[in-house]
Copies of this chain bind each other. A is one copy, B any other.
Amino acid sequence: MQLGLIGLGRMGDAMRQRLVRAGHEVVGYDRDPDVSDVPDLTSLVSSLAAPRVVWIMVPAGEATRATVTELAGLLEPGDLVIDGGNSRFTDDADHEALLASRGIGYLDCGVSGGIWGLDNGYGLMVGGRADLVERAMPLFDALRPEGPRDEGFVHAGGVGAGHYAKMVHNGIEYGLMQAYAEGWELLGATDVVTDVDGCFKAWTRGTVVRSWLLDLLVKALEQSPGLDGIDPFTPDSGEGRWTLQEAVDHAVPMPVTAAALFARFASRQDASPTMRMVSALRGQFGGHTVLTTRDTAASASTIPASDLR
Contacts and interface: CB of A to CB of B under 8 A. Distances in A.
A235 interface: yes
B231 A195 contact: no
Contacts of A86: 308-309
Contacts of A169: 183, 199, 203, 207-209
Say how many copies of this protein the assembly contains. 4
B178 A233 contact: no
Interface in A263-286: 263-269, 271-286
A297 B241 CA distance: 21
A168 interface: yes
Chain A residues touching B, majority SS: helix
Interface stretch (A39-47, A74-82, A94-102, A211-219): A211-219
Contact of A124 (B177, B202, B281, B292): B202
Given A117-B206, A235-B288, A256 B217 contact: no
Nearest to A277: B181
Given A114-B285, A154-B202, A211-B210, A231 B265 contact: no
Interface in A222-272: 224, 227, 229-237, 241, 243-269, 271-272
Nearest to A250: B189
Interface residues of A, number: 157
A91 interface: no
Given A172-B180, A206-B123, A282-B177, A276 B230 contact: yes
15 contacts: A85-B308, A89-B192, A114-B286, A157-B192, A165-B202, A170-B309, A175-B178, A185-B272, A188-B273, A229-B292, A230-B291, A231-B292, A231-B293, A266-B275, A268-B297
